[in-house]
């Protein structure tokens, strides 16, 4: 089977990029830390094939994607003990989509902690990758 990939799409090649913190992947879905996290543990979950938005993705792939999103959210909850977890998915620039390859955001929230987006530091990235991939049973 040939994978549907879009040349130049950063999420199509995320598994081959240096400095990406992958916490899980299987044949259909990949999860990795957002390199500009809103909060500690902000993770993205995407199909390995290229679909621009939720409107293009086949239902069976979407089902796999949301199940992994739930598992990632659970891993974040267990490993990082946030007070809440937001799951969002943006379609189109006007809705806040920045990378035009479908993905879900898993964003933990910690009461009393407000952090703007900043670049993930390597030490924290490796620590979070270890914590989350261990919980997900993924060998990073
Ligand atoms: Zn892509």
Beta-carbon contacts of residue 61 (< 8 Å; ≥ 6 apart): 28, 47, 49, 51
pLDDT in tens, 56-99: 999 999 999 999 999 999 999 999 999 999 999 999 999 999 99
Q: Based on the residue annotation, tell me whether 105 is a catalytic residue of this protein.
A: no
Beta bridge partners of 47: 29
Beta strands per DSSP E along the chain: 22-25, 29-33, 43-47, 84-88, 104-109
Residue with tokens 């946030």: 82
What is the distance in A from the centroid of ligand 1 to the CA of 111? 34
Residue 1's pLDDT band, with cuts at 50, 70 and 90, is: low
Mean pLDDT across 96-112:
96
CB-based neighbours (< 5 A) of ligand 1, an ion: 6, 9, 11-12, 50, 101
- Catalytic residue, chosen from 50, 103, 105, 114, is 103
Give domain limits for the chain. Answer: 14-135
Q: Which CATH class is domain 14-135?
A: alpha beta
What is the distance in A from the centroid of ligand 1 to the CA of 68? 18
């Amino acid at each position: 089977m040939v994978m549907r990939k879009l040349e130049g799409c950063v999420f199509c090649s995320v598994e081959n990029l240096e400095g990406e913190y992958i916490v899980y992947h299987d044949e259909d879905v990949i999860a990795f830390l957002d390199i500009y996290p809103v909060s500690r543990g902000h993770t993205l979950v995407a199909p390995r094939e290229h679909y621009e938005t939720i409107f293009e993705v086949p239902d069976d792939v979407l089902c796999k994607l949301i199940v992994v999103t739930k598992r990632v959210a659970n891993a974040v909850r267990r490993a990082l003990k946030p007070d809440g977890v937001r799951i969002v998915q943006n379609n189109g620039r006007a809705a806040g989509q920045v990378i035009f390859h479908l993905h879900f955001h898993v964003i933990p929230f910690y009461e009393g902690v407000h952090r703007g987006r900043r670049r993930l530091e390597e030490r924290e990235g490796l620590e979070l990758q270890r914590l989350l991939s261990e919980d997900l049973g993924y060998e990073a």
